[in-house]
Amino acid sequence: MKQRILFAFALIVGMGVFFLFPRPHDPGVPPGNDLKESIARVSADETIQVNVWMKDQLDLREIKPEVAHLSWPEQRVLMINLLKQHARRSQEDLLKYLAHKKGEVEVVKTFWIANLLTVRARPALIEEISNRADVALVEADMVKITPAGAKSAWSESMSNNAESNLKVINAHKLWSLGYTGEGVIVMNIDTGVMGDHPALQASWRGNVAPASESWHDAVFGTTTPAIACSDPHGTGTMSVMVGLDPTTEDTVGIAFGARWIASTFDCSTFEIRSSVFDALQWGVDPDGDPNTTDDVPVVINCSLRSDADALSKPCGNNYASLINTNIETMGIAVVYAAGNQTSPQEDDSMAIPARHPDVWAVGLVDATDPNHIILRPDLEKVLGCYESTLDLRAPGVNIRVASNDPTNYRIVSGTSESTPHVAGAIALLKQAFPNKTGPELRDALFATRDPQLKLIDVEAALHHLGNVVVSQYR
């Protein structure tokens, strides 16, 4: 179902030392027009921030067969070290060159999850960088990134309640078998999380682990869960994954036994694409030690979209999608909201990056309708590009979620709310099948989705994965 971008490369393993010989390749994306537009907007003396994608990219899918005999933690250590080594070597020349341009350029961040760096410089120097033989693509970093929006109404706390949308995907059937996501970590990249909300407070991983490996905020500098940009969006998406008020037993989340970690992205006036890359990279190894795996989420929920006009339309960015596939190859599922385009005039198809074939896209059904109707089914066709890359659907209309007011909830609609249903379902399955990876568990949801609606059924996925001895878990 997912197209693969094949990158040529070879791996030789011996004496505990790994030698990597990547060959130059180009995933085949034309230079982003957004860079020209960004340069046109500034004078020669002003600086702009860009993402510099190196030509040599390391696609972990290519080494997966070579390391499949190793244990899962061993594979992760190897892959993280390979990525870091590869990026360091590949970026060395460029960084030396930039060091000679002292005062003219700021290296904002170097990445390893894919081979890129974020720099800020004047247009003339950016032009020089983009003409280098080792650079594949230079893109403007300032791109509007928006949470996949939602309408809202207030709601009170409710006692002994479990929301109906959770039952539509049969989450309650897994609860009755004892699966609540216990021992599992989920993560979102969003507008922050109101950590004091009673539906979320107890399940933050920072209660039982260092805050620094449970909360990441490279944008605003907070060190414990906080809301960013005054936006309740991230609090809501997190609550769909794990929300439960233990005092009132008000259940708004699917995997309420799981623990959550989170990262903000730059949701201030101009959103910075590299802040999402940074959040994704942090999520792969939150404690910064590849040898430990008890800090790693099984799924990263991304209820956000980029401005389609600002990226390389119409097909998305193969380079950026490599970040997702590298994370997935390390066992973490990454799910994206398909977007909430409401009219053909607004946009003709699915959001970026959800539309890319290598990115998992979640749409919505209106589960308040007895037929679970699909809204805007034509959205899943990316005109002139992909026939369909929408993978799964989940309830997304009138979903009750935690708000930034600790005493209140909101009623919201959108693919922002359907996407964390999938993430929560993966967390439930992870407790039942701890040796399966996030992508493998999501594959089970894919294999057992409703053939017409693409609606997930977590109970069917559980049975698809194998026979579970129920009594063992009661």
Considering only residues 85 to 144 of the shown chain, the ones binding Ca ion according to CB under 5 A are: none
Tell me the closest approach of the beta carbon of residue 285 to Ca ion, in angstroms. Answer: 4
Query: With contacts defined by CB under 5 A, how many residues of the chain interact with Ca ion?
Result: 5
Residue (332 or 402) nearer to Ca ion, CB: 332
How far apart are the C-alpha atoms of 130 and 119, rounded to whole Å?
12
Residue whose C-alpha is closest to residue 207's, from 253, 259, 248, 165:
259
Beta-strand ranges (E) seen in 26-87 are 48-54
Q: How many CA atoms lie within 13 A of 379 on its CB side?
A: 26
Task: Calculate ∠ Cα 342-411-158, nearest 5°.
Answer: 160
How far apart are the C-alpha atoms of 229 and 304, rounded to whole Å?
15
Tell me the closest approach of the beta carbon of residue 284 to Ca ion, in angstroms. Answer: 9
Considering only residues 272 to 301 of the shown chain, the ones binding Ca ion according to CB under 5 A are: 285, 287, 289, 292, 295
Residue (67 or 332) nearer to Ca ion, CB: 332
Tell me the closest approach of the beta carbon of residue 209 to Ca ion, in angstroms. Answer: 11
Which tokens go with 110? Answer: 């170097």
Considering only residues 294 to 333 of the shown chain, the ones binding Ca ion according to CB under 5 A are: 295
Residue (288 or 466) nearer to Ca ion, CB: 288
Tell me the closest approach of the beta carbon of residue 181 to Ca ion, in angstroms. Answer: 20
Residue (231 or 287) nearer to Ca ion, CB: 287
Residue (249 or 294) nearer to Ca ion, CB: 294
Tell me the closest approach of the beta carbon of residue 183 to Ca ion, in angstroms. Answer: 16
Q: Output the residue with the shortest Cβ distance to Ca ion.
A: 292
Tell me the closest approach of the beta carbon of residue 296 to Ca ion, in angstroms. Answer: 6
How far apart are the C-alpha atoms of 308 and 388, rounded to whole Å?
17
Q: Which residues are CB-neighbours of 101 under 8 A, at least 6 positions away?
A: 121, 125
Residue (141 or 285) nearer to Ca ion, CB: 285
Which amino acid, 53?
A: W
Please answer whether residues 113 and 284 qualify as being in contact, where contact means their C-beta atoms are separated by less than 8 angstroms.
Answer: yes
Distance of CA 19 to the CA centre of its chain: 30
Please answer whether residues 208 and 374 qualify as being in contact, where contact means their C-beta atoms are separated by less than 8 angstroms.
Answer: no
Positions touching Ca ion (CB under 5 A) are 285, 287, 289, 292, 295
